Amino acid sequence: MNPYVKSIQFQANYCLLLTFENSEKRIFDLKPYFDKPVFARLKNIVLFKTARVVSGSVEWQGEIDLSYNTLYLESKAVKITQSQRKPARGQKKTQDVTTAVFQKKKLSKARVAVK
């Protein structure tokens, strides 16, 4: 049995940062679901941001929901950096990190326009 969703945070590009009851953080990308009519409505960012946790699953206005099993199995684990880990016993926490760290793609250098 997969863990229930405990909380969500909205991320860019129709992704959700999910925290599960086992303290695991995972990213769920909703874009692949947009080809299904019921989820296509969530392209509206205002509706997308109505998501909330209900009974361990995620639910949106208009009777749209995803089960905790789907959310867990179809999401990707977030790598935790050293600065995000809990301090060892007796050490002070140096910073409060609440968002996930993602590796960004390097973009090629911009081309110079020819006159």
**pLDDT at 113 exceeding the cut of 60:** no
Q: What is the mean pLDDT of the chain?
A: 80
Among 56, 60, 102, which Cα is nearest to 79's? Answer: 102
User: Quick one: three-class SS letters along 18-47?
Assistant: EEECCCCEEEEECHHHHHCHHHHHHHCHHH
- Per-residue pLDDT at 1: 86
Question: What are the tens digits of pLDDT across the range 43-88?
Answer: 999 999 999 999 999 999 989 999 999 999 999 999 876 555 565 6
Domains and CATH numbers, the chain: 1-115 (3.30.2020.10)
**pLDDT at 21 exceeding the cut of 90:** yes
- Per-residue pLDDT at 89: 65
Among 49, 62, 57, 60, which Cα is nearest to 74's? Answer: 57
Among 63, 65, 73, which Cα is nearest to 28's? Answer: 73
Q: How many CB atoms lie within 10 A of CB 22?
A: 10
Indicate the pTM of the whole model.
Answer: 0.69
- Per-residue pLDDT at 14: 96
Question: What residues pair up with 26 in beta bridges, in sequence order?
Answer: 18, 77
**pLDDT at 96 exceeding the cut of 80:** no
The Cα–Cα gap between 11 and 6 comes to: 16
Reduced to 3 states (helix: H, G, I; strand: E, B; else coil), residue 73 is helix
**pLDDT at 102 exceeding the cut of 50:** no
